[in-house]
């Protein structure tokens, strides 16, 4: 869990570095291992790092590739980064780090905006092209990693959390009544791109957003769920086997993408118990965690 934030000016003015610093401070709990700020002309990035893959300083962010003239801030994990790295090396790309962040940079240079279709993981990231002065934002297929946006005629800002975005100032905090209706009727869920605030929206899952130097904004959906049945009907036993194979593959993929101990949050449900069962034979001393709340007089005391 890292934290990213940034600002792109449309009016030719320099970004508000003080605002980026305040936004980054609000993201400190998401990334205690390193903090960085980057500026180039109308663009500024902030990043808070939680080290999971390549724990060295080579993987710190904002990550600047001077050769490719690209800069990245990234929150998430690309589970198949090793396969992508190997493929990129056959194309002649050389790497200065061992993690997944640099793989995103090289992938963007090699395959353009369609690089997101190759990523298997959870992510929200922003790439700044120093040469073309173009900003590119992307979010994973199911929107696991958050990305909040606020925009006016002068600038666009983004951040990993709503409090961080508000810390930058200048946000319309009027309640969006339609979003509030969703919040109360959909079990506290507000579908993207809305949020409860009129001045803030979310980049939709499986979407990318490109801002050209002239201020033109293009948003595209790069993936939709294929929920169609297979051509050949499967029996119940075959469905169970196929489901188990997919789950095992998914768990194995995540195990390969970590340079730190792996743990499981026990929610008390079937999903976390299933994960522990699949991991038990693959991870020595598997760590599990659970969270409880003190109940005083029928009132749940939540942590501050």
- In a shared domain, residues 191 and 105: yes
Q: Could you tell me if 164 and 266 lie in one domain? A: no
In terms of Cα–Cα distance, which of 131, 147, 130 is closest to 208? 147
The last residue of a domain, from among 164, 187, 221: 221
* Residue 257 confidence class, pLDDT cut points 50, 70, 90: low
Residue 230 lies in a domain: no
Write down which residue in 168, 198, 221 finishes a domain. 221
Residue 55: φ, ψ to 5°? -75, 0
pLDDT at residue 57 greater than cutoff 80: yes
Please give the tally of structural domains in the chain.
Answer: 2
pLDDT reported for residue 296: 54
Quote the domain boundaries for residue 149: 3-221
* Same structural domain, 197 and 79: yes
Pair 208, 95 in one domain: yes
pLDDT for 141 equals 97
- Predicted TM-score (pTM) of this structure: 0.90
Q: Are strands 263-265 and 287-289 parallel, antiparallel or unpaired?
A: parallel
Consecutive H or E run containing 85: helix 81-90
298 has a pLDDT exceeding 70: no
Residue 296: φ, ψ to 5°:
-115, 115
What's residue 295's pLDDT? 66
Q: What is the mean pLDDT of the chain?
A: 91
- Assess whether 115 carries a catalytic annotation: no
Q: Which position among 2, 5, 115, 304 bears the catalytic label?
A: 2
Q: Answer with the one of 186, 221, 256 that is the final residue of a domain.
A: 221
Query: Same domain for 188 and 65?
Result: yes
Whether residues 23 and 97 fall in one domain: yes
Residues 249 and 148 in one domain: no
> Considering the domain boundaries, does residue 231 fall inside one?
no
């Amino acid at each position: 869990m890292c934290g990213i934030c940034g600002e792109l000016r449309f009016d030719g003015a320099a970004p508000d570095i003080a605002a980026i610093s305040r936004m980054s401070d609000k993201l400190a709990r998401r990334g205690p291992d390193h903090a960085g700020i980057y500026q180039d002309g109308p663009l500024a990035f902030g990043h808070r790092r939680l080290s999971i893959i390549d724990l060295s300083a080579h993987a710190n962010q904002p990550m600047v590739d001077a050769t490719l003239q690209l800069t990245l801030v990234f929150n998430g994990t690309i589970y198949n980064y090793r396969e992508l790295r190997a493929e990129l090396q056959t194309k002649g790309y050389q790497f200065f780090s061992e993690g997944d962040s640099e793989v995103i940079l090289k992938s963007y240079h090699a395959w353009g905006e369609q690089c997101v279709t190759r990523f298997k993981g959870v992510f929200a990231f922003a790439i700044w092209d120093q040469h073309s002065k173009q900003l590119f934002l992307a979010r994973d297929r199911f929107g696991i990693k958050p990305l909040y946006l606020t925009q006016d005629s002068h600038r666009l800002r983004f951040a990993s959390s709503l409090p961080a975005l508000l810390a930058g100032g200048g946000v319309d905090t009027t309640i969006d009544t339609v979003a509030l209706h969703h919040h109360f009727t959909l079990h506290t869920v507000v579908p993207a791109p809305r949020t409860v605030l009129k001045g803030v929206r979310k980049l939709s899952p499986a979407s990318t957003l490109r801002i050209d130097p002239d201020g033109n904004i293009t948003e595209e959906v790069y993936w939709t769920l294929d929920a169609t049945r297979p051509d050949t009907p499967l029996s119940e036993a075959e469905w169970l086997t196929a489901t188990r194979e997919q789950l095992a593959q998914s768990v194995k993929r995540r195990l390969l993408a970590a340079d730190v101990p792996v743990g499981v949050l026990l929610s008390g449900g079937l999903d976390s118990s299933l994960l522990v069962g699949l991991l038990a034979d693959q991870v020595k001393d598997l760590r599990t965690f659970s969270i409880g709340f003190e109940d005083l007089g029928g009132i749940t005391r939540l942590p501050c």
